Amino acid sequence: MNIYDIAQKSGVSIATVSRVINGGRSVSPKTQETVLRVIQEAGYTPNAFARGLGLNTMRQIGLLVSDVADTYYANEVAMLEKALRKAGFDVLLRCTGTETDKKKETLAQMLKRHVDAVILVGSSMQEQDDNSHILEAAEQIPVILVNGCVKGKNIICVRCDEMEGVRCCVRDMCSSGCRSLLFFYHTLSFSCRQKLKGFQLGLKECQEKGTPAKGSDVCIPGGFDEIMASAENYLREHPADGIIGADDMTAVAVQKATQKLGQMVPLVGINNSILSKAATPAISSIDNMAETMCTTAIKNLLDLFDGKRVPEDTVVSPEFIERESFVRKSVCGQEELQ
């Protein structure tokens, strides 16, 4: 069953059938009706491959993410997929892992698949130094970074100012009496670097404000169990009175460690994922506005497809979600206003 069959049954040419399928402009209402009825009756669907060949697109968009098993990324992928589907695009999903070479290779493969755009989900998709592969990809198709930033033509960035979020959090912890802070993380991604900067900046500002606090960052590679175990060892030697986890998973694991040691330490996570709710005590978390980032990213992409001008770098502000593990006595930013 192909376009020729439909043309024959309708008593028209394939050109007319094609027109009807693609929006029916300059087709008489009568012809249109006939053809549509035949298509309906025959249960005909145009061949996607042939269509792709002719139009040079199959309305597919590549989603690259280091790991969908990560709750936070999974959530973003879900939101992006939903928005893209609504706009009539299919999603080609690839997990890349964190190795630079794998990420580059995967991006190259996506280009060969002739996707209409590529979305790099999460800051882990961005390299610290050399992002030339992203620039190269952008020469062919739009590249969207969700929570990342690479400047270049045909590249759309949407990100959260996590540095600011952590900076404020540090200041809030200091004003709440914390004097010895720890920042735990497991991977030094782009986003993590920003958070670390915020951590240092916050400490510095506390010093200037006359409430000096010392702080260290500690890297524990691995998953939940490794972090929990190593954090326990670390905290036994280096107790702290305020802890920030680079993400909720890390925060929960560290929380477990403090509980084992009988230390009751103010604790904050990042991402505001279900893990922060699930923990006991529930963990206060810095929400990096995944939903806002995702909807903005897709909106910008669709605008770009429509030929509109689009902001090449959108920055959204994080939001502190207060739960049980740390309740602020004062709120950074608001004190200045008073």
Partner DNA sequence: TTGAAAGCGCTACCAC
Partner DNA sequence: GTGGTAGCGCTTTCAA
Q: Which is nearer to DNA, 34 or 187 (CB)?
A: 34
Least Å from the CB of residue 32 to DNA: 7
Is position 274 an interface residue for a copy of itself (rule: CB under 8 A)? yes
Of 8, 37, 42, 50, which lies in the binding site for DNA, with binding defined by CB under 7 A? 50
Q: Provide DSSP, 18-70.
A: HHHHTT-TTS-HHHHHHHHHHHHHHT----HHHHHHHHT---EEEEEES-TTS
Beta carbon of residue 17, minimum distance to DNA (angstroms, whole number): 7
Helix, strand, coil fractions of the chain, as percent rounded to 5: 50, 15, 35
Interface residue with a copy of itself, options 27, 188, 197, 224 (CB under 8 A):
224
For position 39 contacting DNA by CB under 7 A, the verdict is no
Query: Smallest distance, Å, CB 135 to DNA?
Result: 24
CB nearer to a copy of itself: pick between 51 and 179: 51
Decide which of DNA, a copy of itself, none touches 176; Cβ closer than 5 to 8 Å per partner kind. none
Rounded to the nearest 10 degrees, how much is the dihedral formed by the CA atoms of 18, 23, 24, 25?
-110
DSSP state of 183: E
Contacted entry of a copy of itself, DNA, none for residue 26, CB cut-off 5 to 8 Å set by kind: DNA
- The reply on whether position 77 binds a copy of itself by CB under 8 A is yes
What are residue 186's phi and psi, to 5 degrees? -120, -25
Q: Which of 136, 141, 126, 114 is nearest to 64 (CA)?
A: 126
Closest CA to 36 of 86, 28, 89, 87: 28
Dihedral of CA atoms 134, 300, 313, 77 in degrees, nearest 10, equals -60
Find residue 268's DSSP bridge partners. 244, 284
Taking CB under 8 A as the rule, does residue 114 contact a copy of itself?
yes
47 interacts with DNA by CB under 7 A: yes
User: How far is residue 303's CA from residue 204's CA, in Å, rounded to a whole number?
Assistant: 41
Determine, following the binding rule CB under 7 A, whether residue 8 of this chain makes contact with DNA: no
Contact criterion met (CB below 8 Å) for 251 and 273: no
Q: Which is nearer to a copy of itself, 37 or 82 (CB)?
A: 82
Stretch that binds DNA, among 51-59, 280-288, 289-297, 299-307 (CB under 7 A): 51-59
Residues 251-270 that bind a copy of itself (CB under 8 A): 252, 255-256, 259
Q: Answer yes or no: are the C-beta atoms of 107 and 150 closer than 8 Å.
A: no
State which of positions 15-34 bind DNA (CB under 7 A). 15-16, 18-19, 21-22, 26-28, 30-32
> Contacting a copy of itself (CB under 8 A), which of 14, 27, 36, 91?
91
> Per CB under 7 A, which region of 6-14, 96-104, 257-265, 310-318 contacts DNA?
6-14
The least distance separating DNA from the CB of residue 43, rounded to whole angstroms, comes to: 12
C-alpha separations of 21 from 16, 31, 36, 47, 50 in Å: 9, 12, 8, 12, 14
- Report yes or no: 211 and 175 within 8 Å, Cβ to Cβ: yes
Tokens coding 318 = 């994080």
Q: Which residues bind a copy of itself (CB under 8 A)?
A: 45, 47-50, 52-53, 56, 58, 60, 63, 67-71, 74-75, 77-79, 81-82, 85, 90-95, 112-114, 224-225, 249, 252, 255-256, 259, 274-275, 277-280
Q: Which residues bind DNA (CB under 7 A)?
A: 2-4, 11-16, 18-19, 21-22, 26-28, 30-32, 46-47, 50-51, 53-55
